[in-house]
Structure 1
């Protein structure tokens, strides 16, 4: 299965050079409702609700601080995504083989890709979480695998979004960032901290051959493609089968099309 990441051209060069993708804390995302559906208020007792609210805030903070989320999408030719996330069609979309990247591994992903479809709703879920007495408790902020029996809680925390975001067709991979050693390694994989002006992202080192496709936006300066192709050729051991495509406008619809770069 191939999933896609929209980004600027400069970010794409960094991704290909380092063979890594950035996971981010959900508290840094542009949607202020992230994690808010995770722990609804339960019960009618005002004091109990106040105490529950404090406890829930603490749990949400820990999940936000210790979890890294990678946001991917199913569609490499979405005009809105190109406009919003790929430098107004001047950037790049990278296609990732999620199996080769290890994003289907339920032992190393808190939410692997096959369970990471974002759920878009018009109303915010406020009903009580499903209770499952047969499953083991999970450690808040220190769970590295996909814990069966806790699907409802994980979906509420990481996968519910307002329906206005549905155009993104988002699929998320969530990894635990806790307990990394001095080399940036934990059960989830190997990460390197990358400081950006307003946040820190965690570059996850992918196995070779995880990246299979590169799409250039229709406003991209294609005078740089030849140079970029040379850079790709230098990294041929890592990327022996990368398919490079350029985008253009369809002549008879509102769609974007892509063709191979010869």
Structure 2
């Protein structure tokens, strides 16, 4: 996993082609195809799907005295020397106060949520669960992107980086101890690229998504959870789009409209209809 604030495509570990499932019957979702847009979501919006996604608790109780001092000195650097010394004398007492810790934890996660956007992608266009979950039960589309053409656009993606998501058993999620790692960005990376295999409460599974994430650092301030804010939307080169797969339950009129659009505006893109075999497997039939 390799991410830093200045990053070029050579640092991004992605397969040759990646896919995005969309419920394109929603008017704003059509823009992924008709306007060649991608959206870097606020990670706070992931919580409704998985409460621990980009929200792994920090292990403050495991911090050493040296780490606690670093943390207090950093977060209270605007305080006077005497006030900081007073805080340092009461380290154990302060770090035993749950309200004191909750403030740090919330501030950290708020910074993470507002200062980055995440584009979630997958390698598998033939995943029935993905068609159900993210393309409105096969009534949407699956858009395939040429990774090199898409993320090689330095004028758009400079300052971004990405990697494959790591899936963990819930009781073995990484322990994130503040100020333990030499590079604090590694704390951030561990949070962003770690997900549970399954939610033990809802029994919802996540590992099947085979997710890759691209992270874009924001130079300003992401203040809204809403995905469709202009500062989260990126227009990519239309040559980045390699395939468009139309779900088997798509509205026929919408399908025809989008096929005509693609043939007019995306002449090099391969178009397919999705079919579901009696075995439950998915196959694609090319549209001429």
TM range (shorter): 0.7 to 0.9
Alpha-carbon shift at residue 52 of structure 1 (Å): 4.4
Task: Tell me which residue corresponds to 2:36.
Answer: 19
Question: Could you tell me how far apart the structure 2 residues matched to 1:222 and 1:118 are?
Answer: 38
* Deviations 1:124-165 (CA, angstroms, capped at 9, x unpaired): 3335368454x5x6xxxxxxxxxxxx44x2332211111121
Distance 1:155 1:217 in 2: 34
- Higher radius of gyration, 1 or 2: 2
- The answer to whether the aligner puts 1:243 opposite 2:277 as a matched pair is no
2:174 equivalent to 1:125: yes
Shift of 1:200: 3.3
- The alignment's C-alpha RMSD in Å is 2.9
1:156 aligns with 2:190: yes
Q: Is the 8 A contact 2:19 2:144 kept in 1?
A: yes
Instruction: Tell me if the contact between 2:165 and 2:195 (Cα under 8 Å) persists in the aligned partners.
Output: no
Whether 2:207 is the aligned partner of 1:166: answer yes
Conserved 8 A contact 1:12-1:92: no
Q: How far apart in 2 are the matches of 1:64 and 1:76?
A: 28
Equivalent position SS for 1:212: strand
Unaligned runs of 5+ in 1: 138-149, 181-190
> In 1, Cα distance between the equivalents of 2:274 and 2:263?
21
Q: 1:27 to 1:224 in 2, by over 3 A?
A: closer
Helix, strand or coil at the partner of 2:58: coil
Query: For the structure 1 residues 49 and 34, does the alpha-carbon distance in structure 2 shift closer, same or farther, using more than 3 Å as the test?
Result: farther
Q: CA distance change for structure 1 residues 127 and 258 in 2, over 3 Å: closer, same or farther?
A: same
Matches within 5 A, 1:65-84: 65-84=114-133
Q: Distance in 2 between matches of 1:127 and 1:108?
A: 24
Question: What's the CA shift for 1:103?
Answer: 6.7
TM-score (norm 2): 0.69
Report the Cα distance in structure 2 between the residues aligned to 1:46 and 1:210, rounded to whole angstroms: 55
TM-score computed with the length of structure 1 as normaliser: 0.75
Are 1:92 and 2:141 counterparts?
A: yes
Confirm or deny that 1:33 pairs with 2:13. no
Higher relative contact order (CA 8 A, sep 6+): 2
- Partner of 2:282 in structure 1? 256
Q: Distance in 2 between matches of 1:85 and 1:95?
A: 14
State the SS of the aligned residue for 2:248. coil
Shift of the 119–154 alpha-carbon distance from structure 1 to 2, 3 Å rule, reads farther
Tell me the matched-pair count. 226
The question of 1:48 aligning with 2:67 is answered no
CA pair 261-233 structure 1, distance change in 2 beyond 3 A = closer
When you count helix as a share of all residues, which structure comes out higher?
2
**How far does the alpha carbon of each residue in 1:226-252 deviate from its partner, in whole angstroms, 9 at most, with x for none?**
3322212332xxx3311111111123x
Higher strand share: 1
